[in-house]
Amino acid sequence: MLRQTLSQKMLQKLSPQQIQLMKLLQVPTVALEQRIKEELEANPALDEGVSEENSEFEQQEDTALNSTEDQGDDEYQDDSYDFDEYINDYIEDDPASYKLRSDNSYTDEEEKTIPIAVEDSFHDYLEQQLGLLAMKDEKEEIIAQQIIGSIDDDGYLRREPIAILDDLMFSQNIFAEESEVLEVLKKIQRFDPPGIGARDLQECLKIQLQLKLEREDVLDDDQIKWLKYGVRIITKYFDEFTKKHYEKLIRQLNVTEAQLKHAIDEILKCNPKPASGYSGNTNRGSTQYIVPDFIIVNRDGELELSLNSKNAPDLRINDQYRDMLKAYKMNTKGRRANRKEKEAVMFIKQKIDSARWFIDAIRQRQQTMYNTMYAIMQYQYDFFLSGDQKKLRPMILKDIADITGLDISTISRVANSKFVQTEFGTKRLKDFFSESLSTTEGEEVSTLEVKKILREVIDAENKRKPLSDEKLKDILQEKGYNIARRTVAKYREQLGIPVARLRKEL
């Protein structure tokens, strides 16, 4: 049986403008320009440039406009609806005054266009060498081109031969055997730079050592001996080598510690990423340029904060859209507007509203970012003055949220993927946030300070007898930090430092 019930619910929903602002807050400065370009292309009512008027940026409420909907000719004939008032609201509001130009931008240095030299890519370099290689037939050349195209930016061939065979069959209509692919691969593995086309690190190191051994005429007897030991280590004892089980290697190879060190030194001379050995390879496709979102300048002991000028673009409502509204008013003067005219005005209204919302969202983004960074700068004032990481105070998202009155999620969006330029280098915003740790004297210090000291202790250790986590804990406690061994292990892992056994050197 069907029943109808009446209930009341309280729901909290974000408006389209709020959602747009949240999305823009997450966009770093380096991507903001592209986002604005997309909006300019999508909305013709939005324009770049400085408005001729000097009026301030204000968001006017158009109650009558927002409540009007296109419901047919009957509504258009309603005497309560004044079409002239509809247009006047927009003309008087002056869409051209909806501009965005911030005085809080960094303009000391204008953006410079850096010319980029045109160079051959890494794969072009390999194909050039392929042209010098004598191939048996066209089929073998196609296989070679397929292999080269499958080599990644590190110089490794991470696709299995069976997958390459499938590619050849579907894309080139070439049927080949796995043995043919492996035969061509061996030829490519002799290309420059050494180690290219290896399928894993073990094969990469082995190829490089063997290619060095082929140049016996320029090597002395000792070098040849160490290289042969190196090939043997990589071929038979690779697992022991990677885990630094040096005592076991000494027993297996029946060598002295000094001899093992010479052999390992030869291995360490090899390049684990062969593609980086190509001088013309700039890896532009994977290069990420850091563009600071904020700039902090020390003016005789006083810190000044400014936004990167890219965060303050000149945006305004297109003058043509205002002129179109004026033209409609002139054309409909003394008569009632027809359906098509009103539909055209509704379309213009929609575009102008969208442009206003976007400009307002950019303005709010600027203000939110500035307020958040200003609170961080004040909180970490001593660090920004001195650059001493030990002066970083414990700071969590809630601390800044309480100061600014913003939500924690908003602070998180601002801190994510944003950078600040200081006289001590460009820093990631989220790196300023850290938990606190108590000293033996009860003082609260930042975990960043503890990590810095931990790294210094490890850097200064005797690599022949690296310090265990237990020993590191004892040293930190002696320095006055109340810390447990498991916390030391956690911080060490966060710093990307391996365990003591893997830090051992001969």
pLDDT at 119 over 60: no
Q: Name the percent of the chain lying above pLDDT 90.
A: 17
* Least confident among 14-18, 388-392, 395-399: 14-18
Provide the sign of the torsion angle of the four alpha carbons 327, 332, 333, 337, taken in this order. Answer: negative
* Least confident among 57-71, 77-91, 328-342: 57-71
Which of the two residues, 316 and 379, has the higher pLDDT score? 379
Q: Give helix 319-331 / helix 339-379 axis angle, nearest 10°.
A: 150
User: Residue 9 has what pLDDT?
Assistant: 66
Question: Same domain, yes or no, for 330 and 382?
Answer: yes
pLDDT at 95 over 70: no
- Averaged pLDDT, 348-354: 81
Examine the fold and report which residue of 169, 191, 213 is the final residue of a domain before the chain moves on. Answer: 191
Query: Which contacts of 479-486 are long-range, i.e. CB under 8 A and separated by 24 or more positions?
Result: 479/453, 480/439, 480/440, 480/441, 481/437, 481/439, 481/440, 481/445, 481/450, 481/453, 482/437, 482/438, 482/439, 482/440, 483/437, 483/450
Question: Same domain, yes or no, for 323 and 409?
Answer: yes
Question: Same domain, yes or no, for 278 and 312?
Answer: no
Examine the fold and report which residue of 369, 404, 433 is the final residue of a domain before the chain moves on. Answer: 433
pTM of the model: 0.56
Residue 230 lies in a domain: yes
Interval 277-295: pLDDT, tens: 665 544 444 455 678 889 9
* Least confident among 248-252, 257-261, 275-279: 275-279
Share the mean pLDDT of the chain: 78
pLDDT at 484 over 50: yes
Domain that holds residue 474: 434-506
* Nearest Cα residue to 463 out of 504, 408, 418, 427: 504
* Least confident among 102-106, 190-194, 382-386: 102-106
Question: Same domain, yes or no, for 429 and 292?
Answer: yes
Question: Same domain, yes or no, for 463 and 408?
Answer: no
Residue 112 lies in a domain: no
pLDDT at 405 over 80: yes
Question: Same domain, yes or no, for 328 and 420?
Answer: yes
Q: CA 412 from chain center: how many Å?
A: 16
User: Residue 80 has what pLDDT?
Assistant: 37
Question: Same domain, yes or no, for 184 and 202?
Answer: no
- Averaged pLDDT, 394-418: 88
Which of the two residues, 339 and 14, has the higher pLDDT score? 339
pLDDT at 203 over 90: yes
* Least confident among 13-27, 315-329, 420-434: 13-27
